[in-house]
């Protein structure tokens, strides 16, 4: 997955975008330092959570024909969504962010504990059991990730759709009932991108409208099937830029 970044100084001076833009590989920390051909140095922050990026990487893997990698990326996206849910709900209850982060460290390397925390917190909040992967899809995931099974395109798409069906209703609930928790979580997520070396440099924040997105897209965006979005390919993502 790649992201396009531009020089905000050149943009302000109406320099043609092909001169002051670059396409770079997406990074784990969402932090990009860019020196344009005109000598301006700027910093770009990508305002996306891990689950948003990882799900799109899974979709791109299907487009490129890497079906095993797609299932792995969809799995990681789901696990990172569990993390997002837990942190958003805890933040919405007024818990100190540093305390939340410290507690998360104790389960950060144990996916089963993360799933357990997610399930019981969801029950506590809603009185219902959370949507989860079907047993069939769990078996496929385990065979692919732990046993080296080579999945096919149909299996990858079905698995991705199942993950989408798990994430979407809960994300919709968060966006409706836990907006302050989302704000706290994303604010702290973005603050972690700031580095001492950024001082004095022009900053830009960008976000992409991903397949499973915290941001609101066009009406019906979060109701479309994965297969429909795969047909669109990489042309379906929108970009919003905010200069800081």
User: For the range 145-153, what are the long-range contacts, defined as Cβ-Cβ under 8 Å and sequence gap of 24 or more?
Assistant: 145/71, 145/72, 145/75, 149/68, 150/67, 150/68, 151/67, 151/68, 151/70, 151/71, 152/67, 153/62, 153/65, 153/67
Ordered by start, the domain boundaries in the chain are 2-49+191-243, 67-181
Query: Which tens digit of pLDDT belongs to each residue from 149-161?
Result: 889 999 999 999 9
Q: Assess whether pLDDT exceeds 60 at residue 243.
A: no
Q: Assess whether pLDDT exceeds 60 at residue 240.
A: no
Phi, psi of 140 (to 5 degrees): -65, -45
Give CA–CA dist 234/229, Å, rounded: 9
Q: Assess whether pLDDT exceeds 70 at residue 238.
A: no
pLDDT at 235: 44
pLDDT at 236: 44
Buried-exposed string 12-48: b where 16+ CB fall within 10 A, e elsewhere: eeebeeeebbbeeeeeeebbbebebeeebebbbbbbb
Query: Which tens digit of pLDDT belongs to each residue from 91-102?
Result: 999 999 999 999
The three-state secondary structure class of 202 is strand
User: For the range 184-193, what are the long-range contacts, defined as Cβ-Cβ under 8 Å and sequence gap of 24 or more?
Assistant: 184/88, 184/91, 184/92, 184/97, 185/49, 185/84, 185/87, 185/88, 185/91, 186/47, 186/49, 186/214, 188/97, 189/49, 190/45, 190/47, 192/29, 193/29, 193/30, 193/31, 193/45
Query: Which tens digit of pLDDT belongs to each residue from 101-132?
Result: 999 999 999 999 999 999 999 999 999 999 99
Reported as a pLDDT band with limits 50, 70 and 90, residue 17 is low
pLDDT at 233: 64
Q: Assess whether pLDDT exceeds 90 at residue 75.
A: yes
pLDDT at 234: 54
Query: Which tens digit of pLDDT belongs to each residue from 34-49?
Result: 888 888 888 888 888 9
Query: Which tens digit of pLDDT belongs to each residue from 46-67?
Result: 888 999 999 999 999 999 999 9
pLDDT at 27: 77
Phi, psi of 239 (to 5 degrees): -125, 135
Query: Which tens digit of pLDDT belongs to each residue from 169-225?
Result: 999 999 999 999 999 999 998 887 777 667 777 888 887 888 999 987 777 788 888
Q: What is the pTM of this model?
A: 0.87
């Amino acid at each position: 997955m790649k992201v396009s970044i531009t020089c905000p100084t050149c943009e302000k001076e109406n320099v043609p975008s092909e001169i002051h833009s670059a396409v770079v590989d997406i990074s784990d920390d969402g932090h990009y330092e860019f020196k344009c051909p005109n000598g301006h140095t700027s910093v770009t922050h990508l305002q996306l959570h891990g689950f948003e990026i990882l799900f799109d990487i899974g979709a791109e893997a299907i487009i490129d024909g890497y079906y095993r990698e797609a299932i792995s990326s969809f799995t990681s996206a789901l696990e990172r969504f569990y993390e997002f849910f837990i942190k958003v709900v805890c933040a919405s209850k007024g818990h100190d962010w540093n305390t939340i982060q410290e507690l998360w460290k104790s389960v950060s390397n144990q996916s089963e504990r993360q799933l357990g925390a997610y399930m019981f917190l969801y029950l506590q909040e809603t009185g219902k059991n959370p949507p989860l992967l079907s047993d069939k899809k769990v078996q496929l995931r385990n065979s692919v990730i732990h046993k080296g099974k080579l999945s096919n395109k149909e299996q990858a798409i079905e698995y991705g759709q199942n993950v989408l069906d798990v994430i979407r209703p809960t994300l919709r609930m968060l966006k409706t009932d836990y907006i302050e928790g989302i704000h706290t979580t994303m604010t702290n997520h973005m603050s972690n991108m700031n580095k001492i070396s950024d001082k004095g440099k022009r900053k830009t924040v960008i976000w992409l409208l991903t397949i499973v997105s915290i941001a609101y897209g066009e009406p019906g965006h979060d109701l479309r099937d994965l297969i429909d979005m795969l047909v669109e390919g990489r042309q379906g993502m929108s970009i919003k830029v905010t200069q800081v």
